[in-house]
Amino acid sequence: MIVNIILIIFGIDIIDMPKGKSNKVVIKHYDQNQAFLLPPSIEDMIPADHFVRTFNQMIDLLDIDILLKTYKGGGASIFHPRMMVKVLVYAYLNKIYTSRRIAKALREDIHFMWLSGMQQPNFRTINKFRSSRLKDVIDGVFASQVEFCLEQGFIKLENYYVDGTKIEANANRNSYVWGKKVNRYKETTQQKIKDLLKHIEQVNQKENLQYHDKDLEELGEGIQISSKKIKEHIKKLKDELADKQSQGSLSHTDKEIEKAIEEIDEKHLPKLQQYEQQQENLSGRNSYSKTDVDATFCRLKNGLLRPGYNAMIGTENQFIINYSLHQNPGESGLFVPHLEKLHRLLGVLPKNVIGDAAFGSHENYDFLHRHNIGNYLKYNTFDIEQSTSYQSQSFMREDFEYHTTTDSFNCPDGRELSFKEIKQHKTDNGFTNFLRVYQCDDCNGCQYMTDCTKMNGNKILNYNPQLEHYRAQARDNLNSQKGVILRKKRSIEPETVFGHIKWNQRFERFYLRGKEKVNVEWGLLSLAHNFNKMNQIKIDKDKNASISALEFLSPIPSTIFFSYYSSFVR
């Protein structure tokens, strides 16, 4: 009996076995209501080498002044912004993306409890901080992280790999609005309104009455009329009819006019206002979603047509150096705004830029030239030109000899293609392309005509000398020894990052709606990815240098900690 009491004191239970069994089973004492002799410390519950400790120190070194300045002061106390950033980024690191699940983790996960200092903001507070407070400052917080990576030697801004991917929006897949249909329906509605207004004018002329000033001179064919102008015009007509009614002089034709006004006001005008609002939501795009008007319908990697965003990143050593979010499915016109954002945030641009054929346009090449950046952007026919079948083809632009004195080309048959005109094309970013057009005066009787041109009439040749120069420069760079290495590395730079985010992090669809809020999500994902990359480098360096995790995470000043850390990175 005394022995059993002593065992229980030391947390050991003795269980008697059923009859026939002589041995006793000794198990640890189990009591769910057992109180701690001393209050437990969360600090002691987290292993010394756990990533959350390194992550916490990294966030502490980030400059978040841009976030603190958004608070006006006064009112009730708030949760510390740095703590909120830690919780959000760590949640995205652990594939927790909804505010309710983050709030749940703050109540149940020991690592989240330690990061938050046992504070538990509810899901509304978390969502408000992420959607509203970070909306205008997420780019600045991310720039602080990139500057930290530069200081620690993780990146050098030497070789910048750019690429984009489509990510589905948090929107109904069948909530599409197509730009072409909106334009067609709007024109039809405008025409019906014009016909009714013309009918009213004709009735007025028959009665030799003038109810109003003729202020709709834009009723001609092909002229766009606005709902605001129509509304003002209808109001004048209604006021004039009301005056006649008060005088008791309404005629049969007045009732006919009143019926036409009613049809415009109740049937066609609301539709016209709806189409105008849809055109405003489109903002020059081909489509948008009704449940997220900022999302554009585009083809995803799986070939499905879904509402989504074009997410672009620039990487070096698989660190995200810059990110940008766009509504256009095509990537060519997004390159310049993407790099301009990088320059705006960091004040510098990379030495070399490497990208696929989607970015090889005149506008993008010109941007690289003006900023003295190494041109390693493929153009649309670069890969085809490397094949022997392409090199053996005839009647390419290179097969036509150019003469500077006469500003003309000679075809393989010796016939002259003289200059005809200059065509201009302006991009969405305001860049103007000038295309010189040359045409043969007479191709009749040419032995190569069938192979030389597939169109009816004489041979037409389009020539952009500046673009040809940029392409030749890109071709030489890409085929150089350095260019071959960069081309090979491009496939494992941004593509690996996208694969990690979509596959490892299971992030294939945004959770918030609206471009500004979605940009916050993409920024948090980028922050989380870079912290995860830093941790992987730390683990690799620890293995290579045989440094224990406990020694690496010893409680030393942060400046000494990262100086020591960066010596291995470099």
**What mean pLDDT do residues 24-30 have?**
74
3-state secondary structure 399-457: HCEEECCCCEEECCCCCEEEEEEEEEEECCCCCEEEEEEEEECCCCCCCCHHHHCCCCC
Binned at pLDDT 50, 70 and 90, residue 419 comes out as: confident
Which pLDDT does position 237 carry in this prediction? 79
**What mean pLDDT do residues 308-324 have?**
95
Least confident of 32-41, 349-358, 445-454, 540-549: 540-549
Rounded Cα distance, 17 and 2, in Å: 20
CA distances from 72 to 76, 138, 139, 524 (A): 12, 18, 20, 24
Residue 65, pLDDT above cutoff 80: yes
Which pLDDT does position 86 carry in this prediction? 95
Residue with tokens 């400046």: 559
Rounded Cα distance, 241 and 230, in Å: 17
- DSSP letters for 112-157: HHHHHTT----HHHHHHIIIIISTTTHHHHHHHHHHHHHHHTS--S
Rounded Cα distance, 59 and 62, in Å: 5
Rounded Cα distance, 476 and 302, in Å: 35
State whether the Cα torsion 501-503-505-507 is positive or negative.
positive
Which pLDDT does position 546 carry in this prediction? 53
Cα pseudo-dihedral 178, 183, 189, 192, rounded to 10: -140
Binned at pLDDT 50, 70 and 90, residue 39 comes out as: confident
CA distances from 113 to 41, 93, 104 (A): 11, 16, 11
Rounded Cα distance, 141 and 134, in Å: 9
Residue 556, pLDDT above cutoff 50: no
**Which has more confidence, 195 or 150?**
150
**Which has more confidence, 26 or 333?**
333
Binned at pLDDT 50, 70 and 90, residue 470 comes out as: very high
Q: Which of 353, 338, 380 is nearest to 467 (CA)?
A: 380
Which pLDDT does position 441 carry in this prediction? 84
Percentage with pLDDT > 90 across the chain: 45
Binned at pLDDT 50, 70 and 90, residue 23 comes out as: low
Give residue-wise pLDDT tens across range 211-248. Answer: 444 444 555 555 567 888 888 888 887 787 777 777 76
Q: Which residues pair with 376 in a beta bridge?
A: 354
- Reading the block at residue 277, the tokens are 């609002």
Percentage with pLDDT > 70 across the chain: 85
Give residue-wise pLDDT tens across range 143-183. Answer: 999 999 999 999 999 999 999 999 999 999 888 999 999 99
Rounded Cα distance, 257 and 253, in Å: 6
**What mean pLDDT do residues 392-407 have?**
79
Rounded Cα distance, 103 and 91, in Å: 10
Instruction: Confirm whether pTM is higher than 0.85.
Output: no
Rounded Cα distance, 22 and 7, in Å: 19
Residue 413 phi, psi dihedral angles, 5° rounding: -90, 0
Q: Which amino acid is at 34?
A: Q
Rounded Cα distance, 336 and 322, in Å: 13
Which pLDDT does position 235 carry in this prediction? 83
Which pLDDT does position 390 carry in this prediction? 67
**Which has more confidence, 38 or 452?**
452
Cα end-to-end span (Å), the chain: 66
Which pLDDT does position 263 carry in this prediction? 85
Q: Can you state the percent helix, strand and coil of the chain, rounding each to 5?
A: 50, 15, 35
Q: Which helix (H) or strand (E) holds 309?
A: strand 305-316
Which pLDDT does position 3 carry in this prediction? 54
Domain residue limits, the chain: 1-34, 44-134, 177-289, 388-464
Is residue 313 within 8 Å of 496, Cβ to Cβ?
A: no
